Structure 1
């Protein structure tokens, strides 16, 4: 009967196990909740894509075992973290021969072997260096476009010697010191050429300023053809002051300049303890460095289109003349 409050209706009885409920209470959201994203096809064991993935992993493991048996480990370019990259067969071979702490050795995937690469692979195997197979584009990026000949090595940043170390090397050799100082030479290729000549003509080290001067970089390593591993390089905060200290240690300082007082081939001080100072091709030696020199020598060149020689060539000629004078003394 209408208006009868005692009429039974769709009201849950008090004391019911579920209790009274108002609204949906989130039932709809719970009903719509799924079981998560559908797994990828390659992760479903029953799917053909999963079988292809497993087969590919097995092939990769088989290839890795084959590469390991040949001493080559496939890999990609590693982060250099400030390290230097030595490129070229001669430079890498010399780095291995002198036991440089190589952190990675890269070999082109289709390299044409010769005696140098065979010795590189042998030394790397004996010393436990892992070889990383790389493509030519990877080697080009790693070496910044240098001529790498399919071989590159990553080494820690160069550790410079002290000036006293150069004098110690001369004392250990039993010969009068011969040190080459570079003033304002900013091209690392010139530094590399000087290092190569220094190794050929018996110099005991090279001295360079800390600022506004080339350091031992990958380019210098390349041009030196490995001589950077044999000839120590020292850095000086102030080159003129370092030359003064070398003079106090008993060395004569000879500058190299086109307006010199004497010819390099006629240098009377060639057989004495000597520091040969080479300036840049454009500006030459700085004023303070020139004032430190005991004498200034010159290299005569024929008159013509060439007005001067670059630092690497001039230093090589001067070291040759000094070495010749010392051999004949």
Structure 2
């Protein structure tokens, strides 16, 4: 993460993340807006007044200072810090939806933009939640919220102390664990229709050896171009959509 990047977990910036926070009934202490805002800025103001959220109007220079290096689009909001879920909470969501559990485990992902993008795709495919480790991992920050385009309000994230132990726990719950790695079975030839957790590694290092050895099987993504791999969020998206495709096909049958 860049040193000048805003890491205030109590601040979200940008219009879409704040609209989603308001729609989701998230506790917002105060919204700071640029004077003379147009378009969706007025929509945010109307939603805030309806929910009796404090509004403060400032000039662009003040918002620039608050948002740091972030692109605030004329609005920022102070909120309660994003809360983490327990693994059991995420599994319970699947039970209530009468669906096989579908989780994304991130091993050493440190780029907040990648986490935000993965959250956005997870919401789109109906994944039940994301799991990140305490160490060597990005946390839920305003940068993640912005990159997720509001998906952070809908995708539960669990933070665990040991990813290997978590994988063992999920296995005992009946889930299959599949790691994304170049040396594995081509992903579209694997059966991904049951309860499953997809493990995606961090930027550069990929899935760590211990985590990879703990998984049930390895999924690879064929590459025909000059570049040897996809970045974490792209690889995760490919695999998540394959899980969704296979589940839809199984239901039709």
TM-score over 0.5 for the pair: yes
- Alignment match of 1:127 (pick from 51, 55, 68): 51
How large is the RMSD of aligned CA atoms in angstroms?
A: 1.3
* Aligned-residue offset at 1:259: 1.6
Determine if the alignment matches structure 1 residue 326 to structure 2 residue 247: yes
Q: Indicate the structure (1 or 2) with the bigger Cα radius of gyration.
A: 1
Q: 1:265·1:322 contact (CA, 8 Å) conserved in 2?
A: no
* Alpha-carbon contact 2:131-2:157 (below 8 Å) kept: yes
How many pairs does the alignment contain? 244
Cα offsets for 1:265-310 (capped at 9, x unmatched): 2221x11000000001311111111111100001112231x22111
Query: 2:147 and 2:190 mapped to 1: Cα distance?
Result: 28
Quick one: distance in 2 between partners of 1:104 and 1:308?
43
Distance 1:84 1:188 in 2: 15
Pairs within 5 Å for 1:223-242: 223-242=147-166
Q: How many Å separate the matches in 1 of 2:131 and 2:55?
A: 34
5 Å matches for 1:180-329? 180-260=104-184, 262-268=185-191, 270-304=192-226, 306-329=227-250
- What is residue 33 of structure 2 aligned with on the other side? 107
Deviations 1:247-279 (A, max 9, x none): 10110000001122x1222221x1100000000
2:9–2:140 CA contact under 8 A, matched in 1: no
2:20 maps to 1:98? no
2:10 match: 84
Give per-residue Cα distances to partners, 1:33-55, cap 9 Å, x unaligned.
Answer: xxxxxxxxxxxxxxxxxxxxxxx
Which consecutive unaligned segments of at least 5 residues does structure 2 have?
A: 1-7
SS in 2 for 1:297: strand
Rounded to whole Å, the distance in 1 between the matches of 2:211 and 2:60 is 45
| Equivalent in the alignment of 2:83 | 159
Q: Is the 8 A contact 1:89 1:149 kept in 2?
A: yes
Point out which structure has higher relative CO (alpha carbons under 8 A, 6+ apart).
2
The gaps in structure 1 that reach 5 residues or longer are 1-81
In the alignment, the residues of structure 1 paired with residue 228 and residue 58 of structure 2 have an alpha-carbon distance, to the nearest angstrom, of 45
The CA deviation string for residues 2-24 of structure 1, in whole angstroms up to 9 with x for no partner, is xxxxxxxxxxxxxxxxxxxxxxx
Change in CA separation of 1:281 and 1:178 when aligned onto 2, cut-off 3 Å? same
* Alignment partner, residue 3 of structure 2: none
CA distance in 1, matches of 2:43, 2:89: 31
Q: 1: distance between equivalents of 2:123 and 2:181?
A: 22
Tell me, in whole angstroms, the C-alpha distance in 2 between the residues paired with 1:281 and 1:307.
13
